[in-house]
Structure 1
């Protein structure tokens, strides 16, 4: 089944990260449909002249990049530019709902503490929205593309949804294998066993057509789940870390001291893409 990806494009350098990720990660010629999406400043904005036209030109250039690199035929790449009605993050979320995309992709630079504290990043805002589609945050790519996916699993529903998403996206992409990672926290009482979690997650992968030989299991021990994942990815060459995200409200304290594993991963991963599903 054809996968349909929405790629957020803007004028900053991080926008190219998502474009490069698609080219490096998927089969060539491309086996996905792509919608390049741009949010122009609100109508009447003083900052630019004809921002919608400028955004469309940026989208055309991005589409041309795909075509020139012999990755994707023009017929498989759509472009869409709209005026913001106040919040770029909200426009991205609404388009994600309307388009029923399999994933929404954003380029993501490593943020400064100032950016995180004042919540300047569009990606940082989108991650707190009420969404039911997967988000992919693509970091600065390396010259030599990375391979394989680290699928972080537990017994919770968001973890099982990301397992299903990974299985679906990789069902016909044989370039990548999947390592299921369970972080065992000895301080957490009543947690499910690694065997039960792996069995449940593997069921989602196999149901999507993933061959059992492409699936590995890994158990690491650590009371700080996010840091355990980051330490492991620093030693391995994964293209993607995938994780489920539970729902809770963002507080002022959360901006400086995030409790969410996914937010910590978003801040801590430097070159590895992050896939998130609620």
Structure 2
């Protein structure tokens, strides 16, 4: 089945690394991929448009500015398209899409991503400069916070590993992450996926210090027992989804980490030790401590040379 993704580019090194990541994944893991490269052009000041309606010289300058914007967009898009073709993508599978900026960059990117019915939106973790601010500061936050209706892939650094890690907690959010992973990577005998579960502990659910050690131990045991039952059911459902997508049981590993590190700490530690290039996270988890807000933020901000998929 054909997959369609949107890659927001701005000519920055970070955006080029996002393009390289798409080329890497298409060459090794993702089949039947079509890529649309999106460039949001710099805005034209409203006062200049108003002045251009009254003053011929201002109108001339307006047209010159529009021409420069189109030329810049064409240069960036051509460079990114050539990069994808060098990675092995069919030129016919790459579309270049320059769009005028109508509101702010984040809104324009999200609007195109949602209206175009793409299977994922891909972006670099850092942008080009303060003049465009496609991927810097508040714009990044807006896209991360509001891209809940489609999967968002945030590429941080130069990804070289094909290995895929999918942290799970037994929730419907985690199952959605598995389902997206299965759709994008299915029917590929070379794909290897690890489903990682960070074992539940009292510290993940409660910040209080328990004076009664025995009570804390009893509660911890109850939590762990419930967590184990939940994960048994979850793995049965997840493995069925992956199997139906064409990923055989020997392509999927399940792994549990008990105690010690925090959830994001355990994920980041596993990413580093296992040399993973892609981490797939559900946006909503079983509790506030699992893959909601601070966990995905920490993984995204601290994972080096890794792409983080957020599926919601």
Pairwise TM-score range, normalised by the shorter structure = 0.7 to 0.9
Contact 1:185 1:221 in 2 (8 A): yes
Q: Which residue of 2 aligns with 1:80?
A: 97
SS in 1 for 2:150: coil
SS in 2 for 1:105: strand
Match of 1:203 among 194, 215, 240: 240
Match of 1:234 among 252, 272, 276: 272
SS in 1 for 2:169: coil
Q: Figure out how many residues of one structure are paired with residues of the other and give that number.
A: 256
CA RMSD in angstroms comes to: 2.5
Distance in 2 (CA, whole Å) between partners of 1:212 and 1:237 is 21
Q: How does 1:38-187 map to 2 (within 5 A)?
A: 38-44=39-45, 49-50=65-66, 51-67=69-85, 69=86, 71-109=88-126, 120=137, 122-141=139-158, 145-187=160-202
Q: Which structure has the highest strand share of the two?
A: 1
State the TM-score, normalizing by the size of structure 1: 0.84
Q: Which structure has the highest helix share of the two?
A: 2
Q: Which residue of 2 aligns with 1:34?
A: 35
- Give deviations 1:32-91, integer Å, cap 9, x for gaps: 111000111222379x93323311221122112223x16122211111111222321111
Contact 1:6 1:96 in 2 (8 A): yes
Gap regions ≥5 residues in structure 2? 49-63, 128-135, 206-222, 286-291
State the TM-score, normalizing by the size of structure 2: 0.75
Contact 1:152 1:243 in 2 (8 A): yes
- Give deviations 1:9-51, integer Å, cap 9, x for gaps: 10221001111112222227974111000111222379x9332
Q: Which residue of 2 aligns with 1:253?
A: none
Distance in 1 (CA, whole Å) between partners of 2:151 and 2:293 is 20
- Give deviations 1:215-266, integer Å, cap 9, x for gaps: 100001246211110111111111201010129xxxxxxxxxx953111111
Contact 2:15 2:126 in 1 (8 A): no
Contact 1:194 1:219 in 2 (8 A): no
